[in-house]
Amino acid sequence: MTSFKIVLLFSAIFIFTAKANNNLDVIYSKNQEKTINNLDSIRSKKVTFQFEDKTYTGILDIPNNKAIKSLIVLVPGSGKTRVKTGKWNYELRKNFNHLGIATFAYDKSGCGDSEGEFNYNQSVENSSNELLAAIQELRNQKIPGSQNIGLWGISRAGWVCPLAIKSDNKINYWISVSGPNHLDNMHHLLKTNWTIKGNTHEEIETLGKEWLNGFKIQRSGGSYLEYLNATPNLNKDDFIKQLRGEYTEEKFLKFQKYLIENNIAIDKKSGLQIMLNDFEKTLEQINIPVLAILGEKDSQVDWKETINLYKKTIDKNTSLTIKTIPDCNHFIRTCETGGFDENYKELFKKGLGQTCNSYYETINSWLMLNNYWAK
């Protein structure tokens, strides 16, 4: 059932915080649709929806001069969104529009014009319900293509999308990019990047154990002093400081409160947080076509574990296609190391860091094979 092979090519998609050229900007007014510069392949307008008494705002892209076969909702990863700028994943949106597929993306709460405050610790369950509210509004408005909705999601969306698919049997397909397994990926991210930075095996083992011990103290209600005493090397590490800054008592207590109030589940074998209970069962219940794309230099998620998980679960009941791309990082961009803090300006100078044509070719071929495009 699985189509699985290694694709020998370079690749990349635009990281959410990457800057696009100014001529790709989209300018919006409240009541008018504006085209993106003079490109006649795409037109965009603002669409709003309600969730938990807040108004969320997004961008709907409609292909020009094409029959619209489907609508793809773009689901982001962790962190704040910048959909309002019109630059976010512009090339990807344009690619879908060329195929006669409309796209919709929206800003998270507290980002762009969406109301409320941004919550970095928003649960994946809540994000899934937010996504479902957006999909329902698209259907209520009878947006072209909304009779055949698919999902594209990156990273954290690999937890969000399966929950939405489980709740909404009218979602027709899913494109998963850099999807994680069922566990929190921070421990993997740290150890992989310490390796990239040249730490010795002994140093990595020491730092990794301190991170796990510190996490255990924090989630079990231990004090900040206990935490500091258990993590002397970790707190001096430059990379962990880069990720979280100085880990003050205020930060410690804030995260501890979140962990305790949410009664997080822990994997007994690894000591890591289980991001979704019964995740394997949720994946097994998926009965729509799935395309999974992963970069082989992803330092943020364990892409090999994701492949094993998907083949063990999704492949049981539906068509699963897996593509891995060498020399590509978490964002499917060409890279040297795939490190979390790899400098894109330096990569650009070396002819790297760009979106690989094969990324779009893989997506387009799959969409055409499954007849989701407008011929």
Q: Is 311 exposed, middle or buried (0-12, 13-18, 19+ CB in 10 A)?
A: middle
> 5-19, 205-219, 290-304, 346-360: which range is least confident on average?
5-19
* pLDDT band (50, 70, 90) for residue 3: very low
pLDDT in tens, 267-312: 999 999 998 889 999 999 999 999 999 999 999 999 999 999 999 9
pLDDT in tens, 215-249: 999 999 999 999 999 999 999 999 999 999 999 99
* pLDDT band (50, 70, 90) for residue 36: very low
CA 240 to chain centre: 22
Report whether pLDDT(15) > 70: no
What pLDDT sits at residue 321?
97
At 130, list the tokens: 């937010």
pTM for the model: 0.85
Cα(338)–Cα(195) distance, rounded to whole angstroms?
11
Domains of the chain in sequence order: 2-182+277-369 (3.40.50.1820), 186-261 (no CATH)
Cα(13)–Cα(296) distance, rounded to whole angstroms?
14
pLDDT in tens, 144-186: 999 999 999 999 999 999 999 999 999 999 999 999 999 999 9
Report whether pLDDT(31) > 70: no
